A and B are shown apart, each in its own frame.
Chain A
């Protein structure tokens, strides 16, 4: 069973969102479940800092030995920071998906896409596995 921390919000595209409650800037990454399903991540392409994104936009991609998946922004706003460390060392996504493997930060404008609680995301992923 993959780790699904209670304090985060989630999307059906297997991303997590941290900081929604206390700040207007949120941090986004992919879940442990997604990282395990992908296998060893070898390439991460992230949006440019300063870019404006809309909720649901494809903003990058994450590539593993066997497959490639798009990264979606679950929120709209301005990309204020991207994690260069994960671009330089994509294995951080596998080794620490909720920590050092974070991907980008967005200053939120407007309402986020439909997000899932940890409980709802757990139900989603146990249904898929």
Chain B
């Protein structure tokens, strides 16, 4: 039985198609997922992301504990700022990708994927034991609502006095939105400007309605996980379970920049990652654009002259490009002339650099 978010009744009243995702009952789409995708690119979309996990790490040594537990240098983070980082195992394999917010000198919030947060919370608690820091999984108390798109700031500004214009990308501050306490973060997973609002469960429904009313003149519409997936794919953002997993290091995924070897002290995975950091990976993550209309999908083989040279990790029709696109791990040196085996038919693909889409700033 899937767990509902605090917004389940709202989704049902909007006629959403609900789906199980990582044990949660989530809106897949409300109507046309293409229209939801386009709304986020051109106006704004409203997302329920309450399935994400919120793990708090607090105490005098919270920063040092996270420096040891994660690959990033979190003790160097300024309060009010956030970092994209990862937790890896001793072999350097990725257990999850995370956003860590520093809320205060001794308070951090780690946001983990729905499929992983229980595992991440347990790992963090274990790794933090030698430190004067407490780890608490508060995922059950928080809802997360995102407003994403070029009109997001104008919409949110009608409901809060917080200094949104002064809030940088990857920053977060406590504020009041429509009379409710929220952590307002300028983060997202769509390739657009936007905000993520962490609120208490009981505030989720009234906040959703307030944002819906405020966004109506700007073309805001509710958007489900289907459009979230195509938006992040166009933006070249990895998804855990597709582009990231325990058998891949951050370097394999082309994200070695998140590993901070120059931070003080040891960290879990350091020796394994030191050993591979200068070794070119056998495969690298690339973008593929289909010449035809058939869609490459997760798990399909990438071929060249009939031989398998890689595997698709994510694929979908791209609204923005008007063509099917995919991310894939492909042998380094495979070069051009790639195809994807789409149920027996080798469909020609053009190799492109990621991301597929970058917004105009």
Residues of A within 8 A of B (CB): 36-37, 39-40, 42-43, 45, 61, 63, 65-66, 68, 94
Contacts and interface: CB of A to CB of B under 8 A. Distances in A.
Contacts of A39: 17, 28-29, 32-33, 226
Contacts of A63: 294-295, 317
Contact of A65 (B33, B293, B294, B343): B33
A65 B230 contact: yes
A94 B32 contact: yes
B212 interface: no
Interface of B: 17, 28-29, 32-34, 226, 230, 293-295, 297, 316-317, 324, 343
Nearest to B293: A43
Contacts of B32: 39-40, 94
B226 to A, nearest CB: 6
Given A39-B226, A42-B293, A63-B295, 9 more contacts: A36-B17, A39-B32, A40-B34, A42-B295, A43-B293, A45-B294, A65-B33, A66-B33, A66-B226
Contacts of A42: 293, 295, 317, 324
Given A40-B32, A94-B32, A65 B297 contact: no
A42 B319 CA distance: 10
B295 A43 contact: yes
B294 A43 contact: yes
Contacts of B297: 68
Contacts of A43: 293-295, 317
7 contacts: A42-B293, A42-B295, A63-B295, A65-B34, A65-B226, A65-B316, A68-B297
A88 B209 CA distance: 39
A120 B29 CA distance: 28
Nearest to A90: B293
Q: For the complex of A and B, list the 4 residue pairs with the smallest distance between their C-beta atoms, beginning with the closest.
A: A42-B317, A40-B34, A43-B293, A65-B33
Nearest to B35: A40
Contacts of A36: 17
A92 to B, nearest CB: 13
A61 B29 CA distance: 22
Contacts of B324: 42
Contacts of B343: 61, 68
Residue of B230, B293, B316 contacting most chain A CB atoms (<10 Å): B293
Given A65-B230, A65-B316, A40 B294 contact: no
Contacts of A68: 295, 297, 343
A11 B324 CA distance: 30
A35 B259 CA distance: 45
A40 B293 contact: no
Contacts of A94: 32
A47 to B, nearest CB: 15
Contacts of A66: 28, 33, 226, 316
A66 B314 CA distance: 11
Contacts of A65: 33-34, 226, 230, 316-317
Nearest to A67: B297
